[in-house]
Amino acid sequence: MRGTICHLWLSLLAIALIGCGQSRIDQAYEQGRQAGYNEGLIQGLEKTKEEGLQRVAEVAQASKPWFVEMQWMLLPLGILFIVFTFVLLRSVIDTRRVETRQASDQLTQYIQSSQQDLQQLRSEMSQIRASVSNLAVEVKQVLIDLTKID
């Protein structure tokens, strides 16, 4: 999902930047059309030289910052940036939360299995104590029987 959002954001940024150059070309074309130079490029240049109109060249050469030409795009781009940042932060926070939850679940399972192992060890130790106690009683009985035989 993050890759899709990033790709969408970069695509919109590229469209905005391409739109800047297209805006300058459109302005130059519009000024040339208003001046009556829509017959063709060479004829338009000749008429421009003859009449001394340099506006088309000035508009084409004068580079304005993209944010001046694209005022109508600033608000949507700003909103898109805020949404993108919010979604990115949200996904990072959710990822961390899931990782923390998984680690907590693993620790809980480890503790439960350790408690079960400990209980099993205690029961085995009780059985060993009982066996040792029974064995001690039998050894005493054998020793008593051996002393009676002598």
Kindly state whether residue 10 falls inside one of the protein's structural domains.
yes
Residues contacting 84, CB < 8 A, separation 6+: 5, 6, 9
Measured on CA atoms in the order 135, 137, 141, 146, is the torsion positive or negative?
positive
C-beta neighbour count of 32 within 10 angstroms: 22
In the prediction, which pLDDT does 145 show? 84
**Domain contains 78:** no
pLDDT at position 43 is 65
pLDDT tens profile 105-143 = 999 999 999 999 999 999 999 999 999 988 888 888 888
Q: Is residue 79 part of a domain?
A: no
64-69: list long-range contacts, CB under 8 Å, 24+ apart. 64/24, 66/16, 66/17, 66/20, 69/20, 69/23, 69/24
Whether 52 and 46 have beta carbons less than 8 Å apart is answered as no
50: containing domain: 1-69
What pTM does this model have?
0.39
147 found inside a domain: no
Residue 71 DSSP SS3: helix
Query: 55-99: per-residue pLDDT in tens?
Result: 555 655 656 666 566 667 777 888 889 999 999 999 999 999 999
Q: 23-35, pLDDT tens digit by residue?
A: 666 666 666 666 6
Overall domain count for the chain: 1
Q: Per the domain annotation, does 134 fall within a domain? A: no
In a domain, 5, yes or no: yes
Query: Cα(first)–Cα(last) distance of the chain, in Å?
Result: 91
Q: Is residue 45 part of a domain?
A: yes
Q: Is residue 53 part of a domain?
A: yes
